[in-house]
Structure 1
């Protein structure tokens, strides 16, 4: 026996030695061996790192570790509605809130899948060029699944709306589409944000302390995160800027340690929002210094810090001072490298199937077709009535009209379609272009008013007004810095100032669009003595000089400068523009400000057969932490939800012509347009439609597509219907708790056809689950899509519960006269409620189940019926 034992040991030693020899003959380190498990490879890699190298990996812009052949990697990338901010042309889909209005999980899955393919193509191409910068990686910090609890929040456009169930269903589809189903590799990494009680205001997000009841936390704010983390196994989470119950969200005992890691069993990586860790001690004042903040964030499971000034040295000092141990640092570093291994970043090229994807997939026909499809699917028909009695509904319009007036601040604007967090497609369709493509009618276009006032800028299209050294245009001097120090990298003559560059885009051999400055210089010689205006659009920052005097310094939004000039006199014009990272956009136009009475504009278009007014707002007014301070808007949020007065006044004048006025509203949030709802025959909510937005809108207006979008948010009548913006309690918020009468309810949307519901069955299945069936018939004359919605109302609760809750939906297509039986299953979680302590338990007593084309008991259900049944559980 002893001889056999010794022989066995010898064989083991020989085998191990053979493996070791074999390993060392091919790989320098075990972490490089793709035959080993990811866990073993990560453990080996982290064991080889110094403390300084480990801490260096815990920032978004992780440096290379050359001695181990580990390339640099920037964790920050975006693909909210298509790959964003890259130096490549990409497909731009409708904004997230618009995709939510499709109520189509299949489309959202495919959109995420296509975005991942385009992202892989960009990553692969950048890698071949040796580029590892921001917006080139495979870790996308999306989707935003915060609940859009208040229409004043400017970032609500990035979400999937106000309902936890709809948000969770769409979010799961996005994660599964983006991350793929390969058993070994992530196609890309998604990131559920912002964990977890976060939805404005923007102006105080770095100081605000959110407080909610346990019921609201578990009933409203956490369900979608649970769906993505527990069910969809999302690989990343981003914690929020604000405090929650006194602690910064990225350092919250309850959110981060208890719920995320312990209850949800999340094993992926967590990143801070950018600059969020610095807020611990700079603005929240919950921590005395940087080292305490950085240590506490890591101890609460924040693995990656996004910051322009990361707490690298602070975290090292925290280790030396005993506030955190190197072993605790290791936990975060291992999570980060696990994601990179799952993305195939350390495996041979041929082993990772996604490495074969090249730039030919960018904007391919299939992706463009989906962008158009989703833009169409997202459009919500809010009102459609006859213009005169006994006539048919005003929409769809006839293509045989003789004259059509297209009016409004968003009518000819392409940029409005891109919303925020966007990439650049090769082509964008405006509403005006879309309408022109549909008909041979004479088109009269008038901007009429701006979004918020009636002072309309009209550019002077004459490049000969500007010259430099005897040549038309401007001298452009490009600097690879934002301070304009030293000699420019290169100079060239440009006919005008109108540029869009993706972050990192190569402008010339010596410069890229990141941390860049450009100085344009020209002489302006006016041809008449009059008052001129410069319109300046510039992201990041800009300065305008006239005769060496600074006359304008702008942030990231429009700016105007008006001045008097004499005919024949020469004026030196200098524009300095600087860009850090993100998209680079700058445009300077010369023109005049024209102010006209609404009646004057109406007089010019009174002979049109129909007037289409394209108004609303844009992402230049609503968005993230913006320098906007005008009436009704503050810091990216809104203080009033009414449509800007200038637009309503113009539409009143247009209506007074006696011609039908169709209101096309563009916005990422709910607008309280009460006058329009009461006085105009047709209203269409079109959101921000992406690259194909204008084409899709025209398809709906002229009947080439039957609209079937449904509202993912409640449209309230007035800001007076809402609680204080900073109050996070859900009382009287969203359709689930709002007790008033909305302007248009959540789930609402009209069609050009009609649907009837019948034969409802409720079947009890195993484990006390339910299966609900209903027959849906298209009783109209044309084919159309219907969004079947299932709502539950618990009728015997002795504590706070929603008025009703969405618990299922399906988007279906029916030909004229066709019927389909729709079946929706309800599981134990669907049939549960949340008590005052945040505990989830099965519903007991009477349960009302409603299925239909919208919420029950709403007078606006003109195109669909609803059917209800009450059962006892």
Structure 2
């Protein structure tokens, strides 16, 4: 075990201790430790440890945690210090969870200190369903936020990290989801160096990331987890990376099974280990023992990877004897300070896209009609790769809390997309005593025996209980719930009732669910995934007795009672909600049910988690048109992980606010912004295109025609765009020198002033125009900073541009500072799209930069 000595002695000895430990292992023990679910080695005092943990926007999949806005929402803040604070919270809560299991004890999946985040792939195409997990389309924005997040996760002591961050997926991995295990990304040397590598380079060289994850895809025919040129030469030699490389899950097996790069798993494992993949998320590395015995691989190759892995475990103190972070525990999970940070993050993520006639902020005491499929659902707060929010606030709840229950009427109005069930709203559920919702009885057993441990009214059945107890006094791994009440169809027609259970990845059994309408069983899923939808016809709007039972004894993580209601009936219900309103707030967009990782969905506009159209789904478009016909001011709040072509809303809505998937405090933040309590000041981290027709083929990884840097058309809303409730002006630009020698740095600054009547944030953006060449982007972001100013306050904002900041990449992928004339723009968005100031300078000579 690691002795409790000073930090310096501990960390200086980590590699030596790891080497000594590995030298005592048998071949079978060594191979077992190269797989993510590494078993214990009792004779050597090594506890079991699963390397798999997640922390994309909060500590994930291990019960209650602080849930921040999805990564794309965090990116919309354009606030690197915020990202560092969020990363710090992720690792504090992960360390607290780790401590609760016990240092030096076995740690199962999601209980460890090795965090497989952030996802810093470039969101090159809005059709990619996992673009929501990234920091957007620009390599400088993504790299800067990645550095901050990585530093936050790992803490201030590089020799003694609070946790280890794992930037992923290295490299050129951004869709399509269908076929991702065999996809071959063909990338030019220019695009690889110019677009796909910079964020990873920054995360490693400036962020000090202790780990990197290699991706599923091949790059120009070579599977990434077997790509020695990038894992060995570029990552380790050129960038000085000294950590360990972990594969995406089952990516080593993909080398043979899907890429057919090697004939069998044994040779796939050899290829991956030789290339520099130290840890297999999966079990393909089990074949390494036979490979060593056959002489296909020297045992020393295993030792190299193992020393890297055990050095990390020693530095983390995971093997015991380290008290550096021992004080962290249950009180540090979703603490008051963390909840406050989640609200701040949600506030900063909001992007005001339109505000005609000063519609926002809402004035006085307006009566509001809240409509739309995203107004009151948990999944559009939490997104994917999330923890369990203890007290999430949906937009409907937030508006009720801010404006008063009596001032808010509500109707769901539409599903997210045709054929995609959505949680049954509170308006269609009623308890026996007439309250909205259902009576819930919670039992501390799985047979509904004895008295219920807890009784309460649940507004709707839309719960995330992933490794979390539904209530105090219940265990997280076994309980039963019975809901009783009435279903109130808003009108006659054909309905589909559905039950969605968040299934665990690798458990042998699933939770049983039973649904009864008018005393008759309509769904009876006994944990086998069958019969999860039932079609019912209601001749009128009379209430129907409803009972639902859930028996939880697996690792499944939550339950939703969903429906598809007749479109005309839902629109009529929206009409009734809007009749007495002064304004309509429509929460529309997407959901993690239609965009995400490897989803099993094929409906109009969506396929396999990706999108085939950028349009707002037709049922929601019809709802917006219906709302506009009411003649009431229409505020559209877009909730999504990707860009949506809101062309109709841009023309007809009075205001548009992009809220992304805003996390546990999303409803509060949205209500505050609509009321004017806060100033929405986020900026788009991606381009909003008008149509897929404006884009190259999804499968093409060439950057020409993509992102603001290489797109020559007119976007719906440009990268970097965002409005404010106040106004800002720029003046007096200065450069440290009108001419530089290649390799010198440049200081650029400008005077920023809040010329409005209220305090607010401005996101100052710096763009560079380089000497023209066939490979030059239109312009490129080289710096940014979020600045808060009071009314009338001024501040000079300065940026230091390094040689790398002003460099260019040629066709061969060589990065160099080129001679010629340059233009630097400082403003609130891109040149031509926002107010700002510009200056020019020249560079003499040429300097080639290291990769």
**Superposition TM-score, scaled by structure 2 size:** 0.88
Deviation at 1:187, TM superposition (A): 0.9
Give, in whole Å, the separation in 2 of the partners of 1:680 and 1:522: 39
1:446 aligns with: 411
Give, in whole Å, the separation in 1 of the partners of 2:531 and 2:788: 43
RMSD: 3.6
The answer as to whether partners of 1:539 and 1:555 remain within 8 angstroms in 2 is no
Is 1:93 paired with 2:68? yes
Deviation at 1:590, TM superposition (A): 8.8
Provide Cα deviations, 1:830-868, integer angstroms capped at 9, x if missing partner: 01100000001103211111110000112xx3xxx1111
Alpha-carbon spacing, 1:502–1:653, altered in 2? closer, same or farther (3 Å)? closer
Give, in whole Å, the separation in 2 of the partners of 1:53 and 1:674: 59
Q: Secondary structure at the match of 2:96?
A: helix
Deviation at 1:277, TM superposition (A): 1.2
Alpha-carbon spacing, 1:184–1:808, altered in 2? closer, same or farther (3 Å)? same
2:506 aligns with: none
Alpha-carbon spacing, 1:372–1:242, altered in 2? closer, same or farther (3 Å)? same
Q: Which residue of 354, 357, 363 corresponds with 2:334?
A: 363
Is 1:868 paired with 2:838? yes
Deviation at 1:125, TM superposition (A): 0.9
Alpha-carbon spacing, 1:36–1:98, altered in 2? closer, same or farther (3 Å)? closer
Q: Secondary structure at the match of 1:216?
A: helix
Alpha-carbon spacing, 1:693–1:525, altered in 2? closer, same or farther (3 Å)? closer
Alpha-carbon spacing, 1:779–1:531, altered in 2? closer, same or farther (3 Å)? closer
2:754 aligns with: 778
1:64 aligns with: 40
Alpha-carbon spacing, 1:655–1:557, altered in 2? closer, same or farther (3 Å)? farther
Q: Which residue of 743, 751, 762 corresponds with 2:724?
A: 751
Give, in whole Å, the separation in 2 of the partners of 1:129 and 1:492: 40
1:485 aligns with: none
1:841 aligns with: 816
Give, in whole Å, the separation in 2 of the partners of 1:527 and 1:688: 29
Deviation at 1:192, TM superposition (A): 0.8
Is 1:418 paired with 2:382? yes
The answer as to whether partners of 1:381 and 1:685 remain within 8 angstroms in 2 is yes
Comparing 182-191 and 773-782, the one that deviates more: 182-191
Comparing 776-785 and 248-257, the one that deviates more: 248-257
Deviation at 1:439, TM superposition (A): 2.2
1:390 aligns with: none
Deviation at 1:254, TM superposition (A): 2.5
Give, in whole Å, the separation in 1 of the partners of 2:127 and 2:650: 20
Provide Cα deviations, 1:542-594, integer angstroms capped at 9, x if missing partner: 776788998779999995312469999999988787855xx611234799767
The answer as to whether partners of 2:52 and 2:110 remain within 8 angstroms in 1 is yes
2:53 aligns with: 77
The answer as to whether partners of 1:179 and 1:188 remain within 8 angstroms in 2 is yes
Q: Secondary structure at the match of 1:327?
A: helix
Alpha-carbon spacing, 1:555–1:509, altered in 2? closer, same or farther (3 Å)? same
Comparing 556-565 and 827-836, the one that deviates more: 556-565
Alpha-carbon spacing, 1:492–1:499, altered in 2? closer, same or farther (3 Å)? farther
Alpha-carbon spacing, 1:569–1:192, altered in 2? closer, same or farther (3 Å)? closer
1:192 aligns with: 167
Give, in whole Å, the separation in 2 of the partners of 1:458 and 1:592: 11
Q: Secondary structure at the match of 1:355?
A: coil
Provide Cα deviations, 1:208-234, integer angstroms capped at 9, x if missing partner: 110010000000000011101122221
Give, in whole Å, the separation in 1 of the partners of 2:548 and 2:575: 37
Give, in whole Å, the separation in 2 of the partners of 1:610 and 1:508: 40
The answer as to whether partners of 2:76 and 2:351 remain within 8 angstroms in 1 is yes
Alpha-carbon spacing, 1:289–1:477, altered in 2? closer, same or farther (3 Å)? farther
Q: Secondary structure at the match of 1:587?
A: strand
Is 1:536 paired with 2:509? no
The answer as to whether partners of 1:64 and 1:72 remain within 8 angstroms in 2 is yes
1:788 aligns with: 764
The correspondence of residues 311-710 of structure 1 with structure 2, limited to 5 A, is 311-346=284-319, 348-349=321-322, 352-386=323-357, 393-401=358-366, 403-440=367-404, 442-453=407-418, 457=424, 461=429, 500-503=464-467, 513=477, 533-540=496-503, 560-563=533-536, 584-588=557-561, 595-596=568-569, 598=571, 601-602=574-575, 604-710=577-683
The correspondence of residues 170-185 of structure 1 with structure 2, limited to 5 A, is 170-182=145-157, 184-185=159-160
Provide Cα deviations, 1:245-295, integer angstroms capped at 9, x if missing partner: 112110113222221222222111111111111111222222211111111
Deviation at 1:603, TM superposition (A): 5.3
Provide Cα deviations, 1:610-664, integer angstroms capped at 9, x if missing partner: 1110111111211111111111111111111100111111111211121110000
Q: Secondary structure at the match of 1:691?
A: coil
Deviation at 1:446, TM superposition (A): 0.8
Comparing 658-667 and 452-461, the one that deviates more: 452-461
Provide Cα deviations, 1:721-759, integer angstroms capped at 9, x if missing partner: 111111100010000000000000000000011111110
Q: Which residue of 51, 54, 65 corresponds with 2:30?
A: 54
1:818 aligns with: 793
The correspondence of residues 83-162 of structure 1 with structure 2, limited to 5 A, is 83-87=59-63, 89-127=64-102, 130-162=105-137
Comparing 188-197 and 585-594, the one that deviates more: 585-594
Give, in whole Å, the separation in 2 of the partners of 1:525 and 1:367: 38
Give, in whole Å, the separation in 1 of the partners of 2:29 and 2:549: 45
2:436 aligns with: none
Q: Secondary structure at the match of 2:535?
A: strand
2:778 aligns with: 803
Deviation at 1:42, TM superposition (A): 1.3
The answer as to whether partners of 2:378 and 2:463 remain within 8 angstroms in 1 is no
The correspondence of residues 721-732 of structure 1 with structure 2, limited to 5 A, is 721-732=694-705
Give, in whole Å, the separation in 2 of the partners of 1:369 and 1:422: 18
2:693 aligns with: 720
Give, in whole Å, the separation in 2 of the partners of 1:590 and 1:647: 16
Q: Secondary structure at the match of 2:290?
A: helix
Deviation at 1:491, TM superposition (A): 10
Q: Mind listing any 5+ residue stretches in structure 2 that lack a counterpart?
A: 434-438, 504-509, 844-851
Give, in whole Å, the separation in 1 of the partners of 2:12 and 2:589: 56
What count of residue pairs does the alignment treat as equivalent?
Answer: 809
The correspondence of residues 228-307 of structure 1 with structure 2, limited to 5 A, is 228-307=203-282
1:40 aligns with: 16
Comparing 418-427 and 208-217, the one that deviates more: 418-427
Give, in whole Å, the separation in 1 of the partners of 2:762 and 2:380: 28
The answer as to whether partners of 2:49 and 2:106 remain within 8 angstroms in 1 is no
